[in-house]
Structure 1
């Protein structure tokens, strides 16, 4: 029976150990794999403009830093509000002494006084003391209230600064996105130029073999073919660089990224461009409020402070009769600094200067943003005109190149004339691609100058 009991007990502990091991394994697996699964966000193979902006706002380090700045401001508000609560503390200690004054005090606190005690030499005493203290500042010249107001203003400024970061980040994404579109169009134009010069080279070689074309003309086309090849290499390199720029603002690493320009909508142009709604302006206005509160904090040094206090104390002795006793104390204390070496005046002066600097900074921002908005409006108007002009330029250049190619086949024009025509067509295509990209960027820049989000009116359901 004893053996069976031990066997059952061993099985029980073995089962408990196995269960614990399984739980520990599951916990370790969850800690390693589950957070990683939640942290990873799906990355599209092909990006549209709105998708790229939304992804960057969540994953770019600048956006994460702005969020942490808001959290820090919220913690500062809690710290400032803590001044309105009472402070409760407890003290405990043990001491021994033969100092007549302290020994006599211990005797009185412990309630063991007798007429036989010599006041001049009460002897050695000990004391085990516990004390509960409560203090509350009734008045401090408005310093605490000003601190809370300053912290609240800084939190609102941090929230608006986060919005400003998102606006700038969104514009950076749009700019990188359409730089890729422009670089891709430039690459296609360079590829078309290479294909055109290759076709012309075939015609030229055929004419040269027939004795209908001079060697110099053939060499001119071969030089142009090499130049077109070099331009193509540079265009490919430029496209690779713009892709890296987009990956950087998205907060991603790697070298593969593709965009879907056809599914990227046109953004609305602000009807009445105005910089006054920019988050930076509103944030600075709240920072001015914080500076005003800081000035009131400094001025509070001219006023007295008043504190209410109370304590409860227990004393226990072991040397004289093992006595014990308790006592309490409560009251109000008023402090007034009559002279502090002009320290308060210096603090007030510093706070006043800081407030003036903040107001000057706001004025500077208003002037700069007014100019920025006006420049954005003019730039948008210029890009719209350039799109129309370059579109016509491409159409004319295409027709001219077609005619010159036919005439070159017939031996009516020189290779230099054909080269000039092909170069004009390539340049027209590049200019048109650049004008289109800059127009889309100009719209985004005007929205940024007005404090508007990129693709803010484009719903997530449209992106899916």
Structure 2
């Protein structure tokens, strides 16, 4: 019991030696803080936000063609010609470089008052496109939040592994020192010292590679947060997994909140409105026209040297398609096929999402059980290493047995950390499918 307490104290001192200076030197970034930074800075989210703004701007009755068009126009024509006129009484008039000027300006208004209800279908479609942009923005946000959380918990896992490797290096150094002391007093061969040195170098090499991987993942997280890539930070120590998720509840949320399903249904509605606009081509188009025009002319030759007029003009134009090479029938058939395809895509998407949910839930259950198992394995491996270390110090176990216990302990820590990470990722995937990630 006393040896166990001494060993625990020894490991605690190692942790303090290795990690306290690092924690003091770096700010701890929580997963919630990382998500909020990404929501504010991430470039893909900003782009999707601007695209939604474009859809909102396009959603107007004017863009649908419901409002009149008002245009101002000005036309000024001048000519210089050699002219010859023969009148009915035989009189001939000629003039070289005769000038003719015409100035016309005014305001006109055109308003389509009926187009087979195409404009109303177009307006409904613009509303659906705005909804589509809104859902696409939400999907982008959900995807990026999931990426941030996954990368963050990957860092937590790697940080735990670095801690374990730091611990094993301290133990390997103690083993080397013990081997050297035993060699000096003649209780061990030089081979034992060399083996201890090789194992220490191996552990140091593994730690260096793990630290490199850790730093590159930090750069990846900074990239997702769209901030300075050299920003230094520390992540939290633990991963908390929600092991109470229920498939029935997740399925209910998926049917209501899954963004891929919502996009598929919106696409189907857009296709139906396209068909409605295509069918409008069978009906007449009626357009009102009016305007106020000013006209002034000057002529160097002729009965009238100058004229001017102004006034209101108005009228109505109606056009009715009669035959256009069967294009109307062809366009309607194509539009109907597009509606049918969009309905099939919606059904396919529903089946795909349900399959993803069922598969992800099974993975989640497995990973949760593995996390519990590996936590128990780590505790067993730790106790085994403590006992082996005590025996090694008094020389009752060979070096290879101690090294095996040491490696088993480190591997158990790595498996435990990875199992928690995988369980957390499974949880995030399920919440993403259900459209229920909190941020």
TM-score by length of 1: 0.78
- Separation in 1, partners of 2:203, 2:48: 47
Tell me, yes or no, if structure 1 residue 280 matches structure 2 residue 257. no
Indicate the residue corresponding to 1:359 in structure 2: 343
Q: Contact between 1:55 and 1:250, CA under 8 Å: does it hold in 2?
A: yes
Return closer, same or farther for 1:382/1:248 CA change in 2, 3 Å cut-off: same
2:22 aligns with none
Unaligned segments of structure 1, at least 5 residues = 1-43, 104-115, 457-464
Distance change (3 Å), C-alpha of 1:208 and 1:97:
closer
Match of 1:448 among 426, 432, 439: 432
CA contact (8 A) 2:28 2:236 kept: no
2:108 & 2:245 partners in 1: Cα distance? Answer: 63
Question: Cα distance, 1:55 vs. partner?
Answer: 1.1
Which residue pairs with 1:22 in the alignment? Answer: none
Rounded Cα–Cα distance in structure 1 between residues aligned with 2:213 and 2:309: 87
Residue matched to 1:343 = 327
SS in 2 for 1:350: helix
Counterpart position of 2:110: 135
Distance in 2 between residues matched to 1:290 and 1:367, nearest whole Å:
21
CA positional deviation for 1:330: 2.1
Single out whichever of 419-428 and 394-403 deviates more from structure 2: 394-403
Cα distance change, pair 211–264 in 1 and its aligned pair in 2 (3 A): closer
- 1:157 maps onto 2:132 in alignment: yes
**2:292 matches 1:292:** no
1:408–1:415: 8 Å Cα contact kept in structure 2?
yes
TM-superposed deviation, 1:231: 1.2
* Partner of residue 431, structure 1: 415
Structure 2 CA distance for aligned equivalents of residues 300 and 121 of structure 1: 59
CA distance in 1, matches of 2:353, 2:130: 23
Partner of 2:389: 405
Secondary structure (helix, strand or coil) at the match of 1:331 reads strand
Give the Cα separation in 1 of the matches to 2:308 and 2:170: 106
Give the TM-score taking structure 2 as reference length.
0.83
The residue number in structure 1 matching 2:291 is 311
Q: Residue 156 of structure 1 aligns to a residue in which SS?
A: helix
Checking the alignment, whether the CA contact within 8 Å between 1:53 and 1:170 is kept in structure 2 is yes
| Cα distance, 1:252–1:357 mapped onto 2, change above 3 Å | farther
Give the Å deviation of 1:92: 2.4
Deviates more, 1:151-160 or 1:377-386: 377-386
Aligned residues: 397
Quote the offset at 1:358 in angstroms: 2.1
Contact map agreement 2:381 2:409 (CA 8 A) in 1: yes
Q: C-alpha separation between the residues in 1 aligned to 2:149 and 2:269? A: 34
Q: CA RMSD in A?
A: 2.9
2:52 aligned partner: 70
Instruction: Flag the 1:207–1:96 CA change in 2: closer, same or farther, 3 A.
Output: closer
Whole-angstrom CA distance in 2 between matches of 1:122 and 1:300: 58
Structure 2 counterpart SS, 1:451: coil
Deviation at 1:402, TM superposition (A): 1.3
Deviations 1:240-260 (A, max 9, x none): 122112112111232333234
Secondary structure of the 2:227 match is coil
Q: What CA deviation, in whole Å up to 9, does each residue of 1:45-68 have, x standing for no partner?
A: 431111111111121111011111
